[in-house]
Copies of this chain bind each other. A is one copy, B any other.
């Protein structure tokens, strides 16, 4: 049985597709306290859930923060990865089992017997959320009810289940052809080759680097003859460059996320200075989605949406301050305090929480500060693509990956995350 509870004024996430009348909360196995929800763990109780995440299948003994974060070098001490899947299962798994789903686009912290060995606590910065509490005999029953709640998953095209070859990066069309030829030579079946950022012209979305991929269209055709699908990457940020059509259109139409003063919010990602299309805004999203045609028209039938946590290498404002501050450090005798203040400042340029609280979205008729809806950005970027495919090539089944993800995204794409290709990051991040 599923019960739905509403607290404060929840922001819609599109995660739940099943209509359920809300109930009034009363404490049971889960208690609501001032700092969030609590559940008492029995000694041998196992806690499942939270999607692709660090640590083992049993999530006990750690603190997980649902806050889509770019961190390819994650290790056992990492709190946040690329996805935000706020669903856990507790109980005995055979007679009395519970599923607990926090439906909110903001940050959620799951302290699963970390601070207190037998206490599971779930907390948010603001209490606005919907809670879905599932009670059923077994894990299987809980999962079934949960899947009915969130709807059918996306199924990738058949070829995507074959072997794919991906690396950062193939610099030229020739390299791609060589990879394909070597697979053929060694009789290793291959269905796809991924194109990381170097197929683009200076890392600009929806462009082709014609120096290194002179005849991109022919490359796509040639690979098709070998039954190899090319899967190019698309970035969540659009390069700020005068004369670049995507930037000019986005700017002219006000499609980019704005800072507190209503100016386009400038951040740095692959190409350097960029703007974020407001993927949460219907018009901006439709516009961004239409851009995928640029590659669909070239025969592409698979995409890999990247950097859509969204990752922020730096914000223009923060970087400016950092360079100013470096002038001060230059004049100092750097001791243990000032030296680590300096390196700490540099180390916190990337994905800085202050930056995530410095720009805004238009979402379902309201203005939201980014951090309040953070975990939806990847979803709506991916929905931009998915909706465009429906409009433009409804007859085609297109492969769609998203690096950042959350539950509403699973009906339209596959969640992938990212990691260094070391054995030590694969286990916690990739396989479990």
Contact = CB atoms under 8 A, between A and B. Distances in A.
B349 A270 contact: no
B422 A335 contact: no
A365 to B, nearest CB: 36
Interface in A300-337: 313-314, 319, 323, 326, 329-330, 332-336
A197 interface: yes
Count of this chain's copies in the oligomeric assembly: 2
Nearest to A313: B339
A330 B335 contact: no
B334 A272 contact: yes
Contacts of A347: 343, 346-347
A378 interface: no
B343 A424 contact: no
A242 to B, nearest CB: 12
Contacts of A333: 272-273
Contact of A270 (B335, B350, B424): B335
A284 to B, nearest CB: 24
Given A323-B330, A326-B326, A349-B343, A336 B270 contact: yes
A270 B424 CA distance: 33
A269 B323 contact: no
Contacts of A423: 114
Interface in A253-279: 268-273
A59 to B, nearest CB: 15
A289 B248 CA distance: 69
A77 interface: yes
A423 to B, nearest CB: 8
Contacts of A272: 332-335, 338-339
B424 A76 contact: yes
A75 interface: yes
Contacts of A332: 272
Contact of A346 (B268, B270, B346, B425): B346
Contacts of A319: 334
A343 B268 CA distance: 13
Contacts of A270: 335-336
A101 interface: no
A72 to B, nearest CB: 12
A288 interface: no
B313 A77 contact: no
A-B CB proximity, top 4 nearest: A272-B333, A272-B335, A270-B336, A346-B346
Interface of A: 75-77, 114, 197, 202-203, 268-273, 313-314, 319, 323, 326, 329-330, 332-336, 338-340, 343, 346-347, 349-350, 422-425
11 contacts: A75-B77, A114-B423, A203-B336, A270-B335, A271-B335, A272-B339, A313-B340, A314-B339, A319-B334, A323-B330, A347-B347
